[in-house]
Chain A
Amino acid sequence: MHPVSGRLININPWRIPLFKKKIKLSLALVAAAALALGVAAPASQAVSQTIQVYISADTNIQDLWVKTLAPAFSAAYPDYKVNVTFDLHGTHDAQETAKITAAAVLHKNPGVDLIDGGFVTTLGAAGLLYHPNPGLLPNIANVNRAVLKAGLGGIPYRASSVLLAYNSANIATPPATLDDLLTWIKAHPGKFTYNAPSGGGSGYSFVQTVVDKYLTDADRTTLVQTAAPALESKWAQGLETLRQLNKYTYGQNGTYPANNAETLKDLATGLVDMGTVWSDQFASALKAGTMPANIKVTQIANPSLTGGASYLGIPNSSTNKVGARLLANWVLSPAAQNLIVSGTLNGFPVIPLSMLDPKATAAFTGVDIQHLRAGYLSANANDLKSAWATAVPGK
């Protein structure tokens, strides 16, 4: 036997059964303790310090939260962690609404503390949201009262508007009113497009604007505020106008881009000279270089394209309302609003421009961001999308 190996065997403690047993036992104890600690400690932290944020929007809003707001908030409040769940284009809005409704009925944790999505006002109307008050959320004092009231419990935190984008190389003076725009579309066949309203808000806004042209102010207000199936028959004239545009829009056989991104792509590649786009998506594309600099945006009048605030909602059943309130309050601070305005999103702020960095707000010249024409209540909007699909494409 080799002397070294023989000695090794003799002194190797792992070869002694009793010692091995002891080590095993203590290892098991340490492991069990670590496991118990590991499970217990973060769990007790998780209840108070992780804020579950649910986002139902396009990818630019995902970037806003994941890359900009969440890291900046965690830097300001190191004790809190923001966990973002993202649902592209709000595909699961109905399920999420159902989940939160069911959680409220059954007094269970919905797993969400703060929501950013179109269905926030629906939850507000159903009385499922925590109503913000300036005592616990001091920064809402800076927000426009009417916009706050329209949220039905939702907290407005950014705004955006649909605008008319046009190729300035081919169009010297863009249409100033809806009537001018309709005349322009008919004079330039194949050069205008808007996406299917069920696929994205920019196309939806054009549809609602054309339909609104034939409605009284009172009817428009009703459709914004309450579900009004009785008024829907008054859409017929507007839908007929849209149907007549089928042979003049891009595609010329009544086909429309599937979503917001496709309208932007058609504008960028020069397939069309004019189209309706979201202000924030357009500004981001311009900054990223995917939209050529000769494409410009403008707003039309009589009526104008719609826009409005996006709301945050804190479900009543949330188990971390303190954290959610802290985050919502911080989002309304000038520091966070500057990030929304100047970051990759290029959104409109909800607090007065005088409180913000003047360099960041220089881009808003020419667009009135304080008076945005509101979109319909979601129930009416859903019916308008369906009515459009029945009356317009391919007819």
Chain B
Amino acid sequence: MISVLRKKSGEGSRTSNGARTSLLGLALSFPPLLLVLIFVGIPILIGLTFSFGFTHGPNRVISLIGQQIHVKNHWWGTFAAYSDVIHDSRFLGDLGLTIFVTALSTFLVIVMALAISIYQRLIGGKRASILVTLSIIPLFVPVVISAWAIHTFYGGDGFMRSIFSHIGINFPTLTSTPSAIVIGSVWTALPFSILMISSGMQAIPDVLIEAARDCGAPSQKIITNILIPLAKTPIIIAMSFTAIGILGSFTIPLFLGPNQPTMLGVEISNFFSSYNRPQQSLVMAFIVFVAASGIAVSYVWSNVKSARESGRI
């Protein structure tokens, strides 16, 4: 009897302990959740309703000021602003350029980060450490400074053209081209990916690599069968962060890209301030938002997967 009671009371205290911990967890995560909900969630919702032509309430002032505002003609709103954007001759070019720059830059960043990380992991030594340290430097240079630096480096009167003209070669002016946006994006995104992927590679135990070497596996096999699969989670995280960052970039395409087509980050700003078409700029923002969410899903999936593998959930 006593033992049963004891057992029950023990169980009881364990449950209340568990409940207390989960309550504490909830209380700790509540303030940031509330903050995100109020300062990010609600404005997004208001923006979404405005893009569908709800021009009253919190959207009243902006619809008084903006031009080419479409007012809803059904209970659920109107697609007129979305149709405006899709039928605008600039939009497809902008979307194409945004996707092209994001895909190419992310690919280049990941390939370079992998190369440096694998070099550091397999060969190592002083030279590899110096290389990694040097590659982190762009992290400490503000984007606007590096954008101007790249602009003067590749511009019409820039360093590259001056050097090449001395040996009689007409180096192309890269500013105002998509190539310059890719160069700038790679410069700004590379350090984070290197930090992420190289730390992932460092965490792989030496035993695995040595065992593979003992069995006579060539370096190529070690890279494709051990290093990359075991560092998959950090690679996916680096990839998704890089892609989301470049997708929404503004400074780099503004300074280095062509006037038209331009990346959606710049076009959203043009539509919002220069052309005073807030509704259309919101529509574009939602298109970028949807694309970024697609990338974010892969990030969350890889996080969940790694948590499950390590037994945390």
Chain A positions within 8 Å of B, measured between CB atoms, are 90-91, 93-94, 97-98, 101-102, 105, 196-198, 250-251, 253-256, 258, 266, 269-271, 378-379, 382-383, 385-386, 389-390, 392-395
A313 to B261, CA, bound (A): 37
Contact A382 B275, beta carbon cutoff 8 Å: yes
Q: What are 20 A-B contacts defined by CB distance under 8 Å?
A: A90-B273, A94-B62, A97-B65, A101-B61, A101-B65, A198-B274, A198-B275, A254-B258, A255-B177, A255-B259, A256-B259, A379-B276, A383-B67, A389-B259, A389-B260, A390-B90, A393-B259, A393-B260, A394-B258, A394-B259
Chain B residues within an 8 Å CB radius of A386: 270-271, 274-275, 277
Q: Which residue of B lies closest to A227 (CB)?
A: B67
Contact A101 B88, beta carbon cutoff 8 Å: no
| Minimum CB–CB distance for A165 against chain B, Å | 17
Is B195's CB within 8 Å of the partner chain A? no
Chain B: how many interface residues by the 8 Å CB criterion? Answer: 29
The 8 closest A-B pairs by CB, nearest first: A198-B274, A255-B176, A393-B259, A393-B260, A386-B275, A382-B276, A98-B61, A394-B260
Chain A residues within an 8 Å CB radius of B254: 258
Per-residue A-contact encoding for B87-131, CB less than 8 Å = 1, 0 else: 011100000000000000000000000000000000000000000
Is B157's CB within 8 Å of the partner chain A? yes
Chain A residues within an 8 Å CB radius of B259: 196, 254-256, 258, 389, 393-394
Contact A258 B255, beta carbon cutoff 8 Å: yes
Chain B residues within an 8 Å CB radius of A90: 273
Chain B residues within an 8 Å CB radius of A394: 258-261
Is B156's CB within 8 Å of the partner chain A? yes
Contact B255 A102, beta carbon cutoff 8 Å: no
| Minimum CB–CB distance for B98 against chain A, Å | 15
Contact B273 A250, beta carbon cutoff 8 Å: no
Cross-chain contact of A91 among B67, B273, B276 (Cβ < 8 A): B273
Contact A393 B156, beta carbon cutoff 8 Å: no
Chain B residues within an 8 Å CB radius of A385: 270, 274-275
Is B272's CB within 8 Å of the partner chain A? yes
Contact A390 B274, beta carbon cutoff 8 Å: no
A251 to B176, CA, bound (A): 9
Contact B270 A389, beta carbon cutoff 8 Å: yes
Q: Which residue of A lies closest to B177 (CB)?
A: A255
| Minimum CB–CB distance for A206 against chain B, Å | 14
A305 to B254, CA, bound (A): 26
Q: Which residue of A lies closest to B260 (CB)?
A: A393
Cross-chain contact of B270 among A98, A198, A271, A379 (Cβ < 8 A): A198
| Minimum CB–CB distance for A109 against chain B, Å | 16
Centre residue among A93, A94, A250 by max chain B CB count within 10 A: A94
Is B64's CB within 8 Å of the partner chain A? yes
Chain A residues within an 8 Å CB radius of B272: 94
A266 to B156, CA, bound (A): 9
Chain A residues within an 8 Å CB radius of B157: 269-271
Chain A residues within an 8 Å CB radius of B173: 251
Task: Find residues 250-291 in chain B having any chain A CB closer than 8 Å to their own CB.
Answer: 254-255, 258-261, 270-278
| Minimum CB–CB distance for A97 against chain B, Å | 6
Task: Find residues 152-193 in chain B having any chain A CB closer than 8 Å to their own CB.
Answer: 156-157, 173, 176-177
If A198-B270, A255-B259, A393-B258 touch, does A382 touch B67 (CB 8 Å cutoff)? yes
Q: Which residue of B lies closest to A99 (CB)?
A: B61
Q: Which residue of A lies closest to B267 (CB)?
A: A389
| Minimum CB–CB distance for A386 against chain B, Å | 4
| Minimum CB–CB distance for B129 against chain A, Å | 39
If A94-B273, A97-B65, A394-B259 touch, does A389 touch B156 (CB 8 Å cutoff)? no
Cross-chain contact of A255 among B64, B88, B258 (Cβ < 8 A): B258
A258 to B275, CA, bound (A): 16
Cross-chain contact of A383 among B156, B275, B278 (Cβ < 8 A): B275
Contact A382 B62, beta carbon cutoff 8 Å: no
Task: Find residues 14-68 in chain B having any chain A CB closer than 8 Å to their own CB.
Answer: 61-62, 64-67
A382 to B65, CA, bound (A): 12
Contact B90 A389, beta carbon cutoff 8 Å: yes
Contact B156 A271, beta carbon cutoff 8 Å: yes
Q: Which residue of A lies closest to B271 (CB)?
A: A386
Contact A93 B273, beta carbon cutoff 8 Å: yes
Task: Find residues 273-313 in chain B having any chain A CB closer than 8 Å to their own CB.
Answer: 273-278
| Minimum CB–CB distance for A128 against chain B, Å | 11
Chain B residues within an 8 Å CB radius of A389: 90, 259-260, 270, 275
A386 to B280, CA, bound (A): 12
A101 to B65, CA, bound (A): 9
Chain A residues within an 8 Å CB radius of B65: 94, 97-98, 101
Chain B residues within an 8 Å CB radius of A101: 61, 64-65
Chain A residues within an 8 Å CB radius of B275: 198, 382-383, 385-386, 389
A46 to B156, CA, bound (A): 52
Known: A94-B65, A94-B66, A251-B176. 16 other contacts (CB 8 A): A94-B62, A94-B276, A98-B62, A101-B61, A197-B274, A198-B274, A254-B258, A254-B259, A255-B258, A385-B274, A386-B277, A389-B90, A389-B270, A389-B275, A392-B260, A394-B261
| Minimum CB–CB distance for A375 against chain B, Å | 14
